[in-house]
């Protein structure tokens, strides 16, 4: 019995090397395939340009660096693909492309859908063994697609240099490669990407509206009213029925209100009220009549509105994830001002912003002090385009408008007569004169201005032209922001100042003397460009693209040509404008 067991044991011992040798021999092709694949992957990572030429987004050296960093975290090992087949992480990557779409980012420019289609088409394992270089290139393309889209979901698709300095703080210290690699390894890509999206309630509300608009588009979109005469209360007809249907589709006309009128072609009071709601949501005068502007807004294709939401989601990604309070925000397309504190708007007012030829820039800074009874130092552009032509017609123009010319090359500026100035050199940096308008009733800055030192020399101020605030479109200034109720703002900002009471402020203004009051705590100011947002009542708001910035951003993102993009494009004037016009004519 023992002898038999011993013989079986000896046979087993002698068989083990043979079995191991057979297994080693059998695994030879797989080992060679893995070795060839790893060598191809290493070579691709050394020079990835050819593998990544499929997308313009991959031309960014930062994306290439991020891809290499991800593989360094993996000690060079593949993340998605192996010679024997597709790894399970691919399913999570497919879900990530759906997340990108949900946040208004098309995954196509990152090459993800095309690369995933190639993955789906490779069903023969033997074919994989023959193409290690192509397999490695596809592996790197998948990683680059994740890296580039993840970075863009976090920070937006514009290069950092295009954004305001205050928005970029802290970016360089935030690691990306490690979190992406760990998330991909664990199949948790969607969770990681979602954590990188803005979590501001306004962003999340806008994203939900994007999903609703897309669903409406899939269901056939909105009813088109079409051109025709103005529609108003008491009218009947087919276009009234179309208007009723359109307002019901957008939720402006409730089901109960719609059902209360048995004749859909009748323009009743409930329809007029619904139209007023729609007009307010589009920044139009709530007249309750369907005139040209209202009809054009309602007939705007739903695809355009979807894109409008996508562009505004992109702008949210540019901003810091935390925004301090109290905080002031000016929304240029809405011509409005809001001061936020403790999560609510404590002060709202209308504003007048720069005209299309003198646009107010988008930027962030802080209000640091207030000037009472300010003087106005005229910018060179206004001198060239407006003041000098008036001086040429009437040499008393400056004195009639309480303006003085100061020679600045002395230790203390000296007032000089208009006849002694060579205005032909006004555009030169060496021009030694300033034109200053004294404080007074006709000073365009009014009686008070709020200073936020910035590169654009733009600030908030009072105005003697109060009638401008009654207009619908209020793009009429030279670039600064004119406030409807500046004293209300001053009172809020100066609450901790000895001269901050309303009576004290009005006494200083009544005295007519210039005075500067510094704020004990600087208040952040954001001058932003929202053409779509969800208000505090949950209504989706749309505004016109007053400066054409939606159009410019859309063109840049669709083409992928974001390098060199400027949020605030230069506006040419004077000799530069003449030279540009001449070059265009040639």
Render 169-193 in DSSP notation, one character per residue. Answer: TTSTTS--HHHHHHHHHTT-HHHHH
pLDDT of residue 82: 80
Which residue among 103, 282, 358, 461 is the active-site one?
461
Query: 276 phi and psi, to 5 degrees?
Result: -60, -40
DSSP for residue 219 = T
> Which DSSP helix (H) or strand (E) runs through 70?
helix 61-73
Instruction: Give CA separation, 457 vs 149, 326, 335, 376, 450, in Å.
Output: 36, 23, 19, 12, 12
Closest-CA residue to 47 (of 111, 126, 140): 140
pLDDT of residue 10: 59
The β-bridge partners of 364 are 526
Task: Output the DSSP codes for 104-165.
Answer: T--SGGGTHHHHHHHHHH---HHHHHH-HHHHHHHHHHHHHHHHHHHHHHHH-SS-GGGS-H
- What is the CB neighbour count within 10 angstroms for residue 221? 14
Which residue among 478, 480, 497, 522 is the active-site one?
480
- Angle formed by the axes of helices 189-196 and 89-102, nearest 10°: 30
Tell me whether residue 480 is one of the annotated catalytic residues: yes
Closest-CA residue to 70 (of 59, 78, 58): 78
Instruction: Give CA separation, 377 vs 329, 383, 399, 435, 454, in Å.
Output: 26, 10, 15, 6, 16
pLDDT of residue 129: 45
Walk me through the domains of the chain, giving residue ranges and CATH numbers.
Answer: 2-196 (no CATH), 238-298 (no CATH), 325-366+445-531 (2.40.440.10), 376-438 (no CATH)
Instruction: Give CA separation, 502 vs 337, 370, 495, in Å.
Output: 20, 14, 10
Query: What distance in Å separates the CA atoms of residue 350 and residue 335, rounded to the nearest whole number?
Result: 6
Whether 41 contacts 67, CB under 8 Å? no
Both structure tokens of 232: 């108003």
Residue count of the chain: 586
Tell me whether residue 461 is one of the annotated catalytic residues: yes
In the three-class reduction of DSSP (H, G, I as helix; E, B as strand; rest coil), residue 572 is classed as coil
Whether 362 contacts 527, CB under 8 Å? yes
Map tokens 């891809």 to a residue: 67
Query: 211 phi and psi, to 5 degrees?
Result: -65, -40
Q: Print pLDDT tens along the chain (586 aa).
A: 566 666 666 566 555 555 444 444 444 566 777 788 888 888 888 888 777 776 677 778 888 999 999 999 999 999 988 876 667 788 899 999 999 999 999 999 999 998 888 887 654 444 544 688 888 888 999 999 999 999 999 999 998 888 888 888 767 667 899 999 999 999 899 999 999 999 999 999 999 999 999 999 999 999 999 999 999 999 999 999 999 999 999 999 987 677 666 789 999 999 999 999 999 999 999 999 999 999 999 999 999 999 999 999 999 999 998 888 899 999 999 999 999 999 899 999 999 999 999 999 999 999 999 999 999 999 989 999 999 999 999 989 999 999 999 998 888 889 999 888 988 888 888 889 999 999 998 899 999 999 999 999 999 999 999 999 999 999 999 999 999 999 999 999 999 899 889 999 999 999 999 999 999 999 999 999 999 999 999 999 999 999 999 999 999 999 988 888 899 988 866 555 545 554 555 4
Task: Output the DSSP codes for 362-414.
Answer: PEEEEEEEEEES--EE--HHHIIIIIHHHHHH-TTHHHHTTEEEEE-SSSS-E
pLDDT of residue 165: 85
- CA-angle at 449, arms to 443 and 451, nearest 5°: 135
């Amino acid at each position: 019995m023992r002898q038999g067991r011993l013989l079986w044991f000896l046979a087993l011992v002698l068989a083990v090397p043979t079995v191991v040798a057979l297994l080693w021999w059998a695994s030879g092709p797989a080992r060679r395939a893995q070795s060839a694949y790893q060598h191809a992957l290493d070579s691709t990572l050394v020079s990835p340009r050819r593998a990544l030429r499929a997308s313009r987004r991959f031309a960014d050296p930062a994306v290439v660096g991020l891809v290499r960093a991800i593989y360094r975290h993996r000690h060079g090992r593949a993340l998605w693909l192996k010679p024997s087949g597709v790894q399970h992480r691919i399913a999570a990557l497919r879900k990530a492309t759906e997340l990108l779409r949900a946040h208004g980012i098309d995954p196509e420019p990152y090459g993800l859908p095309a690369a995933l289609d190639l993955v789906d088409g490779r069903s023969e394992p033997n074919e994989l063994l023959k193409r290690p270089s192509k397999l490695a290139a596809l592996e790197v393309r998948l990683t680059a697609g994740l890296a580039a889209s993840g970075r863009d979901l976090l920070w937006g698709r514009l290069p950092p240099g295009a954004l305001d300095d205050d928005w970029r703080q802290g970016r360089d210290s935030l690691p990306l490669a490690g979190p992406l690699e760990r998330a991909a390894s664990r199949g948790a890509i969607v969770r990681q990407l979602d954590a990188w999206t803005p979590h501001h309630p306004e962003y999340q509300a806008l994203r939900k509206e994007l999903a609703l608009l897309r669903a409406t588009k899939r269901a056939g979109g909105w009813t088109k009213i079409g051109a025709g005469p103005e529609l108003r209360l008491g009218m009947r007809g087919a276009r009234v029925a179309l208007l009723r249907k359109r307002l019901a589709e957008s939720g402006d006309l409730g089901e109960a209100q719609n059902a209360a009128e048995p004749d859909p072609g009748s323009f009743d009071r409930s329809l007029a009220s619904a139209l007023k709601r729609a007009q307010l949501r589009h920044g139009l005068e709530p007249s309750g009549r369907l005139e040209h502007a209202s009809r054009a807004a309602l007939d705007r294709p739903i695809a355009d509105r979807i894109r409008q939401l996508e562009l505004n989601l992109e702008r949210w990604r540019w901003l810091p994830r935390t925004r301090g309070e109290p905080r002031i925000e000016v929304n240029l397309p809405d011509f409005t001002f809001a001061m936020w504190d403790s999560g609510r708007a404590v002060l709202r007012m209308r504003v007048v912003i720069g005209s299309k030829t003198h646009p107010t820039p988008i930027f962030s800074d802080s209000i640091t002090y207030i000037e009472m009874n300010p003087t106005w130092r005229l910018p060179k552009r206004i001198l060239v385009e407006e003041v000098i032509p008036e001086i040429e017609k009437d040499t008393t123009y400056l004195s009639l408008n309480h303006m003085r010319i100061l020679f600045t090359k002395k230790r203390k500026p000296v007032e000089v007569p208009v006849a002694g100035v060579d205005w032909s050199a006004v555009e030169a940096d060496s021009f030694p004169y300033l034109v200053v308008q004294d404080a007074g009733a006709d000073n365009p800055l009014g009686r008070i201005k709020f200073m936020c030192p910035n590169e654009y020399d733009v600030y908030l101020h009072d105005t003697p032209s109060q009638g401008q605030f009654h207009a619908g479109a209020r793009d009429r200034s030279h670039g600064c922001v004119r406030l409807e109720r500046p004293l209300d703002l001053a009172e809020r900002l100066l609450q901790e100042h000895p001269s901050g009471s309303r009576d004290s402020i009005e006494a200083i203004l009544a005295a007519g003397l210039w005075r500067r009051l510094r704020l004990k705590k600087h208040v952040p100011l954001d001058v932003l460009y929202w053409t779509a947002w969800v208000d505090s009542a949950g209504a989706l708001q749309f505004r016109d693209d007053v400066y054409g910035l939606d159009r410019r951003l859309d063109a840049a993102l669709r083409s992928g040509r974001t390098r060199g993009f400027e949020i605030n494009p230069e506006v040419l004037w004077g000799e530069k404008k003449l030279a540009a016009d001449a070059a265009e004519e040639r």
